[in-house]
Amino acid sequence: HVAGIVLAPSDPDALVPAMKKAWEAHIPVVLIDSMVSDSGKQYYQSFLSTDNAKAGELCAKAMIEAVGQTGKIAIMSYVPGAGSEIGRVGGFKKYIEAHSKLQIVGPFYSQSQMATALNQTTDVLAANPDLKGIFGANEPTAVGMGRALQQSGKS
């Protein structure tokens, strides 16, 4: 007996069956930040999103301003294939490649788990002591990444 459902799908296909059931029960569905595949397009009523490619581009621009145009940077991301991830990381990489000679390490995928991001970032920092910057593509990944930077004394 819900009035509506709001989803932020991390996989373009996984929630389509549930969305279909909601549609059949006349429960409106709104998508946030990531799109579903074409097979689910008839089952939602609205879509609200950040321009993720532009967001990634703006982060890349800020990265270049902060670290310069040469050296190594890492990308710590969350779920491969999620629409928002494709846009953010894609926009970031495209801008970096077009406007600098920075070498990109990664992306590494934390599955949106802070502990995983912390461990991955610790490993990336150990393997790349000359790293000049790190891009964290979503909040749980960035929090884990930040904790790793603090623990390593590199914050």
Check residue 88 and give its pLDDT: 92
Q: The pTM is what?
A: 0.78
What are the tens digits of pLDDT across the range 97-110? 999 999 999 999 99
Position 146: which residue type? G
**Contacts made by residues 18-27, CB under 8 angstroms, sequence distance 24+:** 19/43, 19/44, 27/2, 27/3
Shortest CA distance to 33 belongs to which of 16, 19, 53?
A: 53
Shortest CA distance to 112 belongs to which of 84, 88, 141, 87?
A: 141
Yes or no: is domain 52-152 CATH 3.40.50.2000?
no
What are the tens digits of pLDDT across the range 25-77? 999 999 998 888 899 999 999 999 889 999 999 999 999 999 999 999 999 99
Spans of all domains in the chain: 5-48, 52-152
